[in-house]
Structure 1
């Protein structure tokens, strides 16, 4: 399937998910209140922490599918290993369920600062454990479909289940009088249904892949041992990434009362749109770059990677600056809650800028991962984590949510400049000086000038939510649109410059 078509389909599904989430979130707050939304925010954090138990294996499986799917014997050998590894996932999911049933009440009593009834909170935590167990089981199946490049199928799947999780979940709250019990029970049911669907899809698509695969003279071996060895470095990186990116939120969920944590979660939701929109690009790039590197097609590898970085610069730099300039207005237009807008705006600017650095850092990781050279990246990230993790505790203790947000921005920018810059310089000759820095500076200056000059235009409608939202939408889309149009007009000189960049691989 053509890369642009794959990305367009995946991006459309992710955009739908983002829009639905943004529409549903203020309605959720109106149904369950700030404390109830704090509980939902905690559930979202747990979903991210669940990646620790994945230990990078899903990413390794996706990569192995991309490498072995064209050879019949290699792919059949891989499937045998896949289902054996999947049994390990099933055992861990069972342990999660047992822990949920055993400790839900005790955990709820000692962790949350809330006026909600203990019995209610305990039930919600138990429902979270059930939901997370089945989401965990779904991970390898989804990764397998990504490796098979079933992007249209996954796009439709995501569209369908996003509709069930969010708009339909809102309907459950409406029918059952804003009952958090009903909401979390419904989410658990959807997680089970999602897992069953993925089981069927992966089975059917893997059978089809075997039928159309040819026999190769040099089949790819995929024993359990080789798969597990391949995933060791990635697993450590995955664990460290989850801890680094989520430990502040986990600590804040216990340090702040649920109402204040709800406002922080609101800011995380707003700025998290950047990560959500970046998912499709990462999903499409991972198997494609892996295959190109395996085939030693360095020129196409460089072209696809650099154009993807440029697309991210032209999209996420203006989006980040937009959130800095219009964060308060956006949350007010979004929720209609003045208090929520003021409280969330204390965090949005810092979180948004930090998120930009994280998105660019992901390209450095992709570079290392597809080149099968994660050792240095692992060492760098381990040192970074060792310095960062002990510091977050006193930061939150003394400066609470705002301190955590500022710290998020600072440490992500520093790490990207030091390690991301080194990675790009080492593996992509001429990329940093000829393309990355000029594009970054030009886009930042242009976006700042355009957005700050449109502040007056937005202020004309500051007393009307609907018009404010429309003016904000026009402002943001115009800025990104102008940048993408400029890139389209300048595509010939851009392509010429990309040809001056060469890939440096390790001997």
Structure 2
């Protein structure tokens, strides 16, 4: 059986490479395409996130179900039939996504977006290509969730590294060598998306155990998923809507150029997901298995350890970004105007996304127990709270208002959701989680970053400036790790803390 430590490391390696590719090439895309056309790419990524609603919770259900079946000899042989049954839903849904976006391309390009430089025909054609690209990539999430549930993290992340390199590096070559602009970028994106979906599907099927019955569609497999999957769907639907409200509202109320600048800040803050998702992907299947077997002590130990490691990484990165938002943007993009306009929004976005990231492990614990109602309720309440605030804040303060509301919404979810969760799951451990897992690394990293800001308030776009940010990041990470008992133990006892329970 793959060791949990190896799964975590493989997952982090894959996500780190994808993040490096994105951060390395986004400034180049911005230079080649301009803010408005880059805004179209940001719009594509927003639509891509929204398309995950049509997953209907299947991916999360598979992660939990496969983690349990893979270690149960009586149910292991039914895994191929389970995958085949849901495949009959996945590919038609992908086709539906393409049709819906293609049919609405005219309205989306003229009524929703507000391009000034792009001609109406070019914008409409771009939205059509966006629909094709999103549809071709969409099945990848299904196969990725299945491979994560089977704990095939090494193979999964090798594929992620290969296709991230092809997607980002290849798109830059297309822009530079062909001069095809936005159309060439989207065509390349669609081509790589198709290749990734097909290749990931083949990799999954090669890793499945032999079936105990004919591998064909079984309506009972789909019906058996309906209660948990629909709960996850509701949670995911509200969560995705909440996560895209700022961008959707900003894109319709403000000029496309401003939305493009905001998308740059959102890209940076979205990098936090690369710090959290690897741990979630590796730990969630194991939490599900421990929860189903009633092994509470091991479940608690894994939950607290994973939370501490995530808190260390988030505290260090959020501290540096919030201390030097404009400097980070200037070093990254080389665009002084974009850095100046988006510095404050970036700090607010990053702080809010860091809070959201801290809540990922508690959410994994809820899913492992098959409990979705709390997360659904919190997300729904947050949406009701956020919609009027976004309308007012964006109308008055633009992208700074959008970022401020995002921070407030996540702070609300944190303060309300965590106490409610710990009243039912791992009762009596909230104070231990907050005071030992979260607070020490956050306070340590914040102290280092605030001290650095006092010593050197601004950082220039020079090798010395870059070296200073690297030094501060390393110091914040070291301080956060030393302040976290679990992280210290993981470093000192490399082979022990994440052995398979």
TM over 0.5: yes
Whether the 8 Å CA contact 1:425–1:431 is kept in 2: the answer is: no
User: CA shift at 1:162, angstroms?
Assistant: 0.6
In structure 2, C-alpha distance between the alignment counterparts of 1:36 and 1:162, rounded to whole Å:
21
Name which of 242, 245, 267 aligns with 1:244. Answer: 242
2:67 corresponds to 1:69: no
Structure 2: distance between partners of 1:441 and 1:281: 19
Unaligned runs of at least 5 residues, structure 1: 212-220, 496-507
- Of 353-362 and 234-243, more deviation after overlay is shown by 353-362
Name structure 2 gaps, 5 residues minimum. 214-218, 493-501
Corresponding position of 2:295: 297
**What secondary structure is seen at the aligned counterpart in 2 of 1:51?**
helix
Q: How do 1:102-251 residues align onto structure 2 when only pairs under 5 Å count?
A: 102-114=103-115, 115-177=117-179, 179-207=181-209, 223-251=221-249
Give the corresponding residue for 2:36.
35
Q: CA deviation at 1:430?
A: 4.0
Aligned residues of 2:385 and 2:409 also touching (Cα < 8 A):
no
Distance 1:208 1:21, change over 3 A: farther
More displaced 10-residue stretch of structure 1: 112-121 or 14-23? 112-121
Distance in 2 (CA, whole Å) between partners of 1:117 and 1:10 is: 42
Contact kept, 8 Å, 2:386 with 2:405, in 1: the verdict is: no
Change (3 A) 1:93 1:489: closer
1:385-418 Cα distance to aligned partner (Å, 9 max, x none): 3333344333323332111110111121012111
TM-score norm. by structure 2 comes to: 0.90
User: After superposition, what is the alpha-carbon deviation per residue over 1:173-209, rounded to whole angstroms, capped at 9, x for unaligned?
Assistant: 1111261111100000011111110121111111468
Post-superposition offset of 1:87: 1.7
Query: Partners of 2:475 and 2:308 in 1: how far apart?
Result: 18
Distance in structure 1 (CA, Å) of the matches to 2:486 and 2:145:
37
* Equivalent residue, structure 1, for 2:84: 83
Specify the alignment match of 1:339 in structure 2.
337
CA distance in 2, matches of 1:194, 1:440: 37
Are 2:391 and 1:393 equivalent residues in the alignment?
yes
Q: Residue deviations 1:439-472, cap 9 Å, x none?
A: 544333322221122236656862x433322221
Distance in 2 separating the partners of 1:477 and 1:45 = 32
Are positions 1:53 and 2:54 aligned together? yes
Aligned equivalent of 1:214 = none
Shift of 1:229: 2.3
SS at match of 2:324: helix
SS in structure 1 of the partner of residue 225 of structure 2? helix
RMSD: 2.5
Question: 2:488, 2:244 → 1: CA distance?
Answer: 39
Give the TM-score taking structure 1 as reference length.
Answer: 0.89
CA deviations on 1:314-353 (whole Å, 9 max, x unpaired) are 2212221211111100100111110010111120111111
Aligned to 1:256: 254
Comparing 484-493 with 71-80, greater Cα deviation is found at 484-493
